Amino acid sequence: MTLRPLVRPPEDQPAFVLVEPQLADNIGFAARAMLNFGLTWMRLVNPRPEWPSERATATASGAALVLENATVYRSMTEALGDRQVVYATSARPRDLVKRVVTPRQAAAELRAHAAAGTRTAVLFGPERMGLINDDLAPVDAVITCPVNPDFSSLNLAQAVLLIGYEWFQAADETPATELRTGTAALASRAHLESYLLRLETELEECGFLRIPHMRPAMVRNIRALFGRMQLTDQEVRTLHGMLTELVTKRLSANSLEAPETEK
């Protein structure tokens, strides 16, 4: 009954243990959500659908490898036998004295355990009922996701997605915020300054800055506007080009000549 995994299990990952999942679709969606966050180690306890399942493979899309490596067990005890630390996802550990953690906290702890070489698992209950207290009693901690109390049901694949998401984020070093400029470099302040000086000269000449007592504030505001833009070199060149054309057009119009159409 127990299918052997095709590859060596990734011991630096928690095993995601689906307890008596009811629907093949959900097993596939869960596999997909796992792989989105680099998790490849699924265990199934008494899956209701026939296993392996073509339907699960279909909903897993490109994540079939997670299903192919999934191991099937007859009981939770058997599935967790080699684990040292076990977390269980549940909305409601009632009448149990139990440590309850957020997904984010669980992810941090799972990462710490993985770094220490400790073998971990995360339990996910059946779709309709979730895990019962007898399942929850022996686990190290329960993971409960803070949700809208008036609409709190997360489906199986969503729960897997959120735990997987936090697992991945816990070790991810993407900057929280970053200006992506592709191959373009940000403009040096000198490059920006040369544009701003030219802009002020042109605004002077065209009369935009004609009211002397307002001029300092207007210049300051224009500088604040361009100053916070984090312009690239290319963008400053584009602004120069726009200014050149706008001025040329104005001069042409003033001198009653036809505007230049060629550069």
Indicate the angle between helix axes 189-206 and 233-254, nearest 10 degrees.
10
Closer to a copy of itself at the Cβ: 18 or 141? 141
Report the nearest approach of a copy of itself to the CB of residue 196 (Å).
Answer: 19
Closer to a copy of itself at the Cβ: 165 or 226? 165
Report the nearest approach of a copy of itself to the CB of residue 123 (Å).
Answer: 17
Report the nearest approach of a copy of itself to the CB of residue 142 (Å).
Answer: 8
The H or E element that residue 76 is part of is: helix 76-79
The site for a copy of itself (CB under 8 A) is made up of 33, 35-38, 61-63, 93-102, 104-105, 141, 144-148, 151-154, 158, 161-162, 165, 168-169, 172, 174-182, 184, 232, 235
The length of the chain, given as a count of residues: 263
Closer to a copy of itself at the Cβ: 12 or 172? 172
Q: Environment class of residue 17 by beta-carbon count within 10 Å: exposed (0-12), middle (13-18) or buried (19+)?
A: buried
Tokens of 218: 């207007």
Question: In 3D, which of 74, 7, 82 has the Cα closest to residue 41?
Answer: 7
Closer to a copy of itself at the Cβ: 47 or 103? 103
Report the nearest approach of a copy of itself to the CB of residue 95 (Å).
Answer: 6
Q: With contact defined as beta carbons under 8 Å apart, do 122 and 14 qualify? A: yes
Tokens of 50: 């026939």
Closer to a copy of itself at the Cβ: 45 or 114? 114
